[in-house]
Amino acid sequence: MVHNNGAHGTAGATDDQTNTTSQDTTSPNSRPDTASTDSSLEGRAKTRRTSGARWIWAAVAVIVIAAVVLGLSIFSGRGGDQTTQGNASQSAGAADTVTVGLKLAPTNLDIRNTAGSAIDQILIGNVYEGLVARDENNNVVPSLAKSWDVSADGLTYTFHLNDGMTFSNGDTLDAHDVVWSINQLIKNQYHDAESVSMISSVAADGDDTVTITLKTANSNLLWVLTGRPGLVFDEDATYDAKTQAVGSGPFTVAKFVANDSITLKANPKYWGTHKAKTPTVVVRYIADDNAAVNALKSDDVQVLAPISENLAKPFADDDHYVVKAGDDTDKYVLAFNGACEKTADKRVRQAIRYAIDHEQIIASRGGADKALGGPIPSLDPGYEDLTSLYPHDVAKAKSLMAEAGYSESKPLTLTLTYANTYGTELGDQLRSQLKPIGIDLKVNVVEFSTWLQDVYTNKQYDISLVDHNESHDFYQWADPTYYYGYDNKDVQDLYAKAIAATSDKERDELLARAARTVSEDAPADWLFNYRVTTAWAKGVTGFPVNLNQTLLPLYDLAYRP
C-alpha cells in the first residue's frame, strides 16, 4: 500500500473518491488522503494508461492496507455461551454520546465493492465481523471463530464458531453464513478477493464448524481473513449497502452522511461479551486541520485522530487533554532505482544511508516517529531492529563516495521525485544532508498522478520517496518487477519459504533473514516508521491508540466529563 501523504488521513478527502481534494501540506506530519493500496495503485496505473484523465480507480484507497481489522480487546474472551445483549452498558456519570473526529471519510459503506481503508476503519469490528480479527499489536485473535486448527501440511484450516451468534436484524449467524460469504467474495471477485486466491474450497460441517482448504500452504491466510475476505454477511438481509449495514458487531449504523459523518448506535441484538459502553458514537470527518483542532478545543469532538505532533503540542501542555502516539505499519521508503546506472553502485547506496540523519528528520516532525532500519516495521512478522546496520556516519559516507569517484567538489547528481502532498521539508533536508558527501540532489516535487506515471508505472527515476503503509507487504522486495527494480534470488527464495511455512516461528525467522539481506543490500533507505498521534479530552477512556487509522474498535469507548 502506498500513501501519497505525510500523515494518516489528512484534510479533506475521501479514500474512495475518484478525485483528489486540496489539503494542508505545510505540516511535516500532515497526511493527504489520496493514498492507495498497492493493488489499487496498480489498478490506477492501468486505468491511467487506458483512459486518460480518469486515472484514479474506484479504489483510491488511502491507507491501509490491505486488510483491516480490530483490536484484541474487542475479541479476546468471546465465548460460545453468550446470550443476546441489551443496550450499551453505561457507567454512572458517563455521557450517552461520544463524538470522534477523523479525517479520512468514506463516500459510501459498500465494503464489498468499494476500496478504501476508511470503510474498513469504521465498519470492521464495529458493525461487520470476520472469522478472526487483529489486536492492537497486529496479531491474529479470535472473533466469530473462537478457535481454529491447522493441519500439519498447512493446507486445511478448521474454524470452530461461537454459539448464539446473530446479526443485528435478529437473523442467526452460523457456519453456512461464513461459507456463503467467502464463496460470494470469490465468485463475484469483491474487493480483496485476489488475496484469497490460495483457497481451494470452503465448507460447513454442521452449524458451528467451517473448513477452508488451500491449494498451497500460505502462512498469510489467517491475517488475510482479519480483513474484508473474512467478513460474514447475512444472505437473507435486504438493505442498501451504500448507506446501510447489517452486521453482527456491537454497533449498528443509525445514520450515514457521505463525506460528513456516521452515527453508530449500540446493537441491542449483539451476541458477544463486548457490548458498547456508549449508546451513541458519532464520527465526524473534519477535512481542515484548524477546524479539527477547534472542534476538540470547543468539545464538539472529544477525540481527534490523527493530529500532527506540532498541532498536538498545545493539547499535550494542557491538563484537560491527553496526547499519545501509537504504533503503525507505515514505512517512509526512499527507494533507489535498481535499473538506474547512478545508483547501481552499492557504495553510493550505502553512502546515502550512512549520510542520512534519521534522528534529525524525526525530530523535525515532532519526535513521535520511530527510526526504521529495514523493510519490516515493528508490528509485522519478522521484525528485527536493523538500525545499527547503517548508523549516521558522515565520514564513512564520504569514504564510500570517494571510492566511487565522487566528492563535494566532484558531486554525483541525483534526482529525488516525490508527491507534493508530502510538502517540501523532507526534500530540503535530504538535499542538505547529502551535499557534504558529494551528492548534488535535485528535488522534483510533482503531482501524485505524475509520480504514479513516472515512478510507479514507468520506473523513470533516480530516487523516490513514498509512504508504504500496508502491513505484511514484504512481497514488494521479492518481486523484481516492482518499481524498486530490486532483484535478489536469495530474498525471493526466503520469502517463498516464509509464505509456505507451517508455523509462525519458521515464517518469522525466514522473513527476518530476508529483511536483513534487503537492508544490507541497501536498495532503499527507510527514513522512519510513521506513528499516529491521537488527542482526547480528559475523561475519555477506551479509545485505541495503535493502528487506529485502520483498526478502530469503539466498543470500549466512554466519556465521563
Q: Which of 36-45, 122-131, 156-165, 214-223 has the lowest mean pLDDT?
A: 36-45
CB-neighbour burial class of residue 411 (10 A; exposed 0-12, middle 13-18, buried 19+): middle
Asked if the model's pLDDT at residue 19 lies above 80, the reply is: no
Q: Which of 230, 257, 277 is the last residue of a domain?
A: 230
pLDDT given for residue 82 in this prediction: 34
Q: Please check whether residues 523 and 545 belong to one and the same domain.
A: no
pLDDT given for residue 60 in this prediction: 31
pLDDT given for residue 172 in this prediction: 98
Residue 484 is assigned to a structural domain of this protein: yes
Which band of pLDDT confidence, cut at 50, 70 and 90, is reported for residue 2? low
Residue 14 is assigned to a structural domain of this protein: no
Q: What is the mean pLDDT of residues 234-251?
A: 97
How many structural domains is the chain composed of? Answer: 4
Q: What is the mean pLDDT of residues 4-15?
A: 35
Alpha helices in 1-127 (DSSP H): 38-51, 72-75, 117-123
User: How far is Cα 6 from Cα 425, in angstroms, rounded to an integer?
Assistant: 11
SS3 string, 341-394, reads HHHCCHHHHHHHHHHCCHHHHHHHCCCCCECCCCCCCCCCCCCCCCCCCCCCCH
The C-alpha cell at 20 is: 483528489
| Per-residue pLDDT tens digits for 530-548 | 999 999 999 999 999 999 9
Asked if the model's pLDDT at residue 320 lies above 80, the reply is: yes
Higher local confidence (pLDDT), 34 or 508: 508
Asked if the model's pLDDT at residue 100 lies above 90, the reply is: yes
Q: Please check whether residues 419 and 280 belong to one and the same domain.
A: no
Question: What is the DSSP secondary structure assignment for residue 137, as one 8-state letter?
Answer: T
Angle at 148 between CA 144 and CA 154, to 5 degrees: 130
Residue 449 is assigned to a structural domain of this protein: yes
Q: What is the mean pLDDT of residues 131-152?
A: 96
Q: What is the mean pLDDT of residues 463-483?
A: 96
Q: Please check whether residues 488 and 361 belong to one and the same domain.
A: yes
Residue 132 is assigned to a structural domain of this protein: yes
Q: What's the longest Cα–Cα distance across the chain?
A: 76
Asked if the model's pLDDT at residue 501 lies above 70, the reply is: yes
Q: Please check whether residues 184 and 145 belong to one and the same domain.
A: yes
Q: Please check whether residues 303 and 348 belong to one and the same domain.
A: no
Q: Please check whether residues 375 and 487 belong to one and the same domain.
A: yes
Residue 3 is assigned to a structural domain of this protein: no
| Per-residue pLDDT tens digits for 352-391 | 999 999 999 999 999 999 999 999 999 999 999 999 999 9
Q: Please check whether residues 334 and 480 belong to one and the same domain.
A: yes
Residue 167 is assigned to a structural domain of this protein: yes
Which band of pLDDT confidence, cut at 50, 70 and 90, is reported for residue 349? very high
CB 202 within 8 A of CB 126: no
Q: Please check whether residues 414 and 479 belong to one and the same domain.
A: yes
CB 131 within 8 A of CB 225: yes
User: Domain holding 398: CATH number?
Assistant: 3.10.105.10
Residue 116 is assigned to a structural domain of this protein: no
Q: What is the mean pLDDT of residues 183-197?
A: 97
Rounded to 5 degrees, what are φ and ψ at 154? 75, 15
Q: What is the mean pLDDT of residues 10-37?
A: 34
Domain, as residue range, for 312: 249-320+538-559
Asked if the model's pLDDT at residue 128 lies above 60, the reply is: yes
Residue 107 is assigned to a structural domain of this protein: no
Mean pLDDT of the chain: 87
CB 235 within 8 A of CB 177: yes
User: Domain holding 303: CATH number?
Assistant: 3.40.190.10
Q: Which of 65-74, 389-398, 473-482 has the lowest mean pLDDT?
A: 65-74
User: Domain holding 222: CATH number?
Assistant: 3.90.76.10
Residue among 120, 101, 94 nearest 535 (CA)? 101
Q: Which of 169, 196, 230 is the last residue of a domain?
A: 230
pLDDT given for residue 421 in this prediction: 87
User: How far is Cα 44 from Cα 51, in angstroms, rounded to an integer?
Assistant: 10
Q: Please check whether residues 397 and 465 belong to one and the same domain.
A: yes
pLDDT given for residue 35 in this prediction: 36
pLDDT given for residue 41 in this prediction: 54
pLDDT given for residue 1 in this prediction: 57
